[in-house]
Every structure is written in C-alpha cells, then in structure tokens.
C-alpha cells in the first residue's frame, strides 16, 4: 500500500488539548517497544501487523525509516507508527503521528489507544509463537475476569459499563443501527441471548471480536460483553484498558444524533 502523506498533514499527541502531559507517558512506552521490535525478524513483524490489522504504508517522512504502519481503530482516528532501525551513528527510534481528523477524539482516549497498541506490540514481540484461533466460541466478560489472576469482575464491570450505563440505557436499537455504520462496527441480528435489545460487534484484531450487548428483561436493563475465546491469549490488563474505548465512541456518536436528549455524564460524554 502506498500513500503520499507529508509531515504537514500529520499531528502529534501534543497537538491534542492537554496532550503534552500524556506524551511523556507515551515516550516511556515507545522506548520499551523500540527495544523489543529491533530484536525480531521481518517475518514475525509481518505476522504481528497482520494479527493487529495494521497496514504497512510507504511514507516519505523519514528517509531512514525501516517501516511505517497505519492503525485505524476509530473512523476518524488514524495512527502512524514509524520505526527507524539503529545504525552506526544513531540508535533505533520510533515516531508516532496522527491524521488531523484524529482531533475529534478526546485526548485521554487518543492517549489510551496509542499506549495500548504500543504495549500490544511489546507483548506480541515477546510471544514465542503467534497464531490465530479460528473458533466461534465466545467468553463473557465475567468469565474472562475469572480466568485472570489480576482482574476483579465487579471492578471491571463498574469501570467499563456502570460508569457509562446511564447514556447507554437511553440508546435504542434504531439509533445504534445508525451508529455502527459510522463506527465501522456490525449490528448483530442473531445472537444466542435472551431479552436482547441490541448487539454490536467490533473487530479488534484478526482473531478477536468483541460483542457489546444491551439486555432488556421486563424493563430491567443490563449490559454484557462477550469476546472471542482467543482473548485468553492476550494480556488481560491491556484488554481491560481497551474495552471502554468503543463504548465512549458509541456515546459520542449517539450524542450527535440525539443531542441534549442524551444524558451527559462528562465533558466529552
């Protein structure tokens, strides 16, 4: 894939409001990623990029860049990660840029997404074997937490869902059907769960789908999350940090449609 993108078309994290504070943390994540990525083969790199749905692109920003990947986790949010391999004069380095359209995403979300992808690169670079799990089997959020020694199910549910459930309860199926088209998600008509009001699917990685469910049982509304069984082969903490990102995006898009009729719970949500 070839793209003619110039430096003037891109921004850095410090161009986001308050981004300078977060950029210091990203610098630490970049250093860890550089140390691991410079050690692995081109073949393994390509396997990792394929797994996380990253696209290799040709950018003429730095002549000494070894590779550049494009990540597009949200429609308007595009990350470019450029890697320069060490030579006799300079150590290995990494640069991170964003499309200008990425400014539509709140700074904290932009930081968290970037940090998560950098940590996933480190995690996968350290994995001895990379493989895709071809299975239709799903695991619930609660089961996922039980399989982890570091996650508490109640805290996870609170941090991901409870903090957002007021506006989520107000988003009806006709609205969510419009939102999934904008966010490049999928509205699922047939899902084996009782009392469903709606289900949306997001593809995080090649072998990892995430399903967000709204359940309405006798006017008692609940939410649940199901994930591909392959989730068990990824770092649970990174997954935990990621799961609220799509819910934030759903709420932001719902507000564009519903306006002030959607309950506001924060400056951006």
Q: Are 9 and 100 in contact (CB under 8 A)?
A: yes
Query: Which pLDDT band holds residue 136 (cuts at 50, 70, 90)?
Result: confident
Q: Is residue 65 part of a domain?
A: yes
178 and 215 share a domain?
A: yes
| Final residue in a domain of this structure, among 74, 93, 125 | 125
Q: Is residue 80 part of a domain?
A: yes
Q: Provide the residue range defining the domain that includes 249.
A: 138-259
Q: Is residue 152 part of a domain?
A: yes
SS (H, E, C) the chain: CECCCCHHHEECHHHCCCHHHHHHHHHHHHHHHHHHHCCCCHHHHHHHHHHCCCEECECCCCCCCCEEEEEEEECCEEEEEEEECCCCCCCCEEEEEEEHHHHHCCHHHHHHHHHHHHHHHHHHHCCCCCCCCCCCCEEEHHHHHHCCCCCCHHHHHHHHCHHHHHHHHHCCHHHHHHHHHHCCCEECCCCCCCCEEEEEEEEEECCEEEEEEEEEECCEEEEEEEEEHHHHHCCHHHHHHHCHHHHHHHHHHHHHHHHHHCCCCCCCC
Q: Are 33 and 124 in contact (CB under 8 A)?
A: no
Mean pLDDT of 44-56: 94
Q: Is residue 223 part of a domain?
A: yes
117 and 152 share a domain?
A: no
Q: What is the pLDDT of residues 210-219, one digit of tens each?
A: 999 999 888 8
Predicted local confidence at residue 9, as pLDDT: 81
Q: Is residue 93 part of a domain?
A: yes
Q: What is the pLDDT of residues 32-41, one digit of tens each?
A: 999 999 999 9
Query: Which pLDDT band holds residue 24 (cuts at 50, 70, 90)?
Result: confident
Q: What is the pLDDT of residues 196-207, one digit of tens each?
A: 999 999 999 998
222 and 148 share a domain?
A: yes
Predicted local confidence at residue 2, as pLDDT: 47
Query: Which pLDDT band holds residue 233 (cuts at 50, 70, 90)?
Result: confident
162 and 250 share a domain?
A: yes
Mean pLDDT of 20-33: 88
Mean pLDDT of 160-179: 95
Predicted local confidence at residue 48, as pLDDT: 94
Q: What is the pLDDT of residues 74-124, one digit of tens each?
A: 989 999 999 988 777 778 899 999 999 999 999 999 999 999 999 999 999
75 and 147 share a domain?
A: no
Q: By percentage, how much of the chain surpasses pLDDT 90?
A: 67
Query: Which pLDDT band holds residue 185 (cuts at 50, 70, 90)?
Result: very high
Q: Is residue 200 part of a domain?
A: yes
Range with the lowest mean pLDDT among 118-132, 137-151, 181-195, 224-238? 118-132
152 and 92 share a domain?
A: no
Q: Is the pLDDT of residue 129 over 70?
A: no
Q: What is the number of domains present in the chain? A: 2
Q: Is residue 63 part of a domain?
A: yes
Q: Is residue 267 part of a domain?
A: no
Q: Is the pLDDT of residue 132 over 80?
A: no
Q: Is the pLDDT of residue 135 over 80?
A: no
**Average pLDDT score, the chain:** 89
What pTM value is reported for the model?
0.90
177 and 120 share a domain?
A: no
Measured CA angle at 98 (ends 13, 204), to 5 deg = 105
């Amino acid at each position: 894939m070839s793209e003619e993108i110039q430096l003037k078309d891109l921004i850095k994290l410090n161009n986001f409001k308050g981004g300078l504070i977060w950029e210091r943390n990203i610098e630490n994540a970049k250093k860890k990623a550089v140390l691991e990525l410079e050690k692995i083969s081109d073949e393994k790199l390509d396997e990792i990029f394929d797994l996380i749905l990253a696209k290799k692109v040709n950018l003429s920003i730095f002549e000494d860049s070894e590779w550049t990947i494009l990540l597009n986790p949200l429609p308007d949010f595009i990350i470019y990660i450029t890697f320069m391999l060490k030579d006799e004069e300079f150590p290995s380095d990494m640069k991170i840029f964003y499309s200008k359209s990425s400014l539509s995403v709140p700074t904290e979300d932009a930081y968290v997404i970037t940090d998560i992808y950098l940590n996933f690169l480190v995690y996968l670079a350290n994995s001895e074997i990379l493989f895709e799990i071809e299975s239709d089997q799903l695991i619930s959020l609660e089961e996922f937490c039980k399989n982890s020694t570091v996650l508490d199910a109640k805290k996870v549910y609170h941090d991901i869902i409870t903090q957002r459930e007021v506006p989520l309860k107000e988003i009806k199926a006709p609205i969510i059907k419009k939102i999934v088209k904008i966010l490049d998600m999928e509205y699922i008509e047939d899902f084996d769960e009782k009392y469903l009001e709606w289900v949306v699917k997001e593809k995080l990685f090649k072998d990892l789908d995430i399903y967000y469910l709204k359940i309405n049982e006798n006017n008692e509304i609940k939410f649940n999350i199901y994930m591909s069984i392959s989730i068990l082969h990824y770092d649970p903490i990174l997954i935990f940090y990621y799961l609220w990102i799509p819910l934030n995006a759903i709420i932001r898009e719902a507000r564009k449609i519903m306006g002030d009729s959607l309950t506001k719970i924060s400056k951006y949500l």
